[in-house]
Amino acid sequence: MKGKRLLITGGSGFIGTNMVQHFLDEGISLCNLDWNRPLSREHDPYWRECDVMDTEGMLQVFNEFEPTHVVHLAARTDTEEQEDMDAYVQNHEGTRRLLDVVKKCPGIERLVVTSTQFVCEAGYQPKDDLDFKPFTLYGETKRLTELATREAGLSCPWTIVRPTTIWGPWSLRYRDVMFKVMRKGLYFHPSRRRVIRSYGYVGNVVWQVHRILESPVDQVAGKVFYVGDPPIVLNEWVEEVSRRLTGRPVRYMPAILVQLLAWTGDVLKFMGIGFPITSGRFRSMTSDYITPMDRTEKVLGTAPYSMAEGVQRTVEWYDAGSERIEPLKRKVVGKDQR
């Protein structure tokens, strides 16, 4: 990608921060289009404040920066909202507006659009790239995102990526929940049952996206790739984190007791009080969730970072002043923008 110009939407978030840093280290000319200030203050010079719902604003940024490559990360990524589809309007409608802008910029050579593994529920193995079974509103909006990409009539090659559960430096969710609790000696894992999950170290995800942008067009155009690592035994990952973070093995608790704590967390969450575990987190700790990674490894190759290397880098980031990083503030999209 030497000599190319990369625009990343959502470069102020967790994955985006890692991606911005990676491509800066590679010497790539870069622009981060995001309505939030970057998590890393070192990235401020590359940030253009803009909402993906603002078509004219995006077009102005695109025309001024003249990107050759675009990675679309911008989205609301939590799964908390279960009733109001408009709460996630930035995802599908924002993507549609971004695609309209891309079509007006003939200099764009490659586009990567970010979806999610949650377009299919846990345990469901899709028969093809158009076989969906979302189980949350967030997953449904990403299904619509994928369809919008396919139907946009783009002249440039496009690729869809579906991140698995991603972890690593700049993840404030892991910083504020798992790491903080584990460091205080309050973390208990629900039973020793073998749980298989599709997780991904963020450095490997960024590497995979970079590979997509540089791969021969016929290998990646119009394709869907799950990005992350091969499925892991969750307990092994948790043990590695505990060893690096505390120097001690993980403590285990009968699953039924953790379930009771999770129900308590649900009640406290309803009351607006934070708690380390809820039913959603309990399910993710005790349920298999395996995504098909064969195509990713076949086309892109083996990602460079081992689980141990990823955990070490994440703990080093955690101990190097991560507590000073302020979380991004969620903004509400006005009805006039929907």
Answer whether residue 104 shows pLDDT above 90: yes
Percent of the chain scoring above 70 in pLDDT:
97
* pLDDT tens, residue by residue, 42-85: 999 999 999 999 999 999 999 999 999 999 999 999 888 888 99
- For residue 336, name the pLDDT band (cuts at 50, 70, 90): very low
Dihedral (Cα; 169, 108, 74, 8), 10-degree rounding: 30
Closest CA to 166 of 269, 303, 299, 331: 303
- Full-model pTM: 0.93
Q: Strand locations in the chain, DSSP E? A: 5-9, 29-34, 47-49, 69-72, 110-114, 158-163, 165-167, 188-190, 196-197, 199-201, 224-227, 232-233, 251-253
Answer whether residue 114 shows pLDDT above 90: yes
- pLDDT at residue 334, as a whole number: 44
- For residue 333, name the pLDDT band (cuts at 50, 70, 90): low
What's the rounded mean pLDDT across residues 146-151?
98
What's the rounded mean pLDDT across residues 171-180?
92
Q: Which of 24-28, 47-51, 267-271 has the lowest mean pLDDT?
A: 267-271
- pLDDT at residue 279, as a whole number: 86
* pLDDT tens, residue by residue, 289-317: 999 999 999 999 999 999 999 999 999 99
- pLDDT at residue 255, as a whole number: 87
Percent of the chain scoring above 90 in pLDDT:
80
Closest CA to 202 of 9, 38, 336, 13: 13
Structure tokens of 5? 């110009």
What's the rounded mean pLDDT across residues 79-100?
93
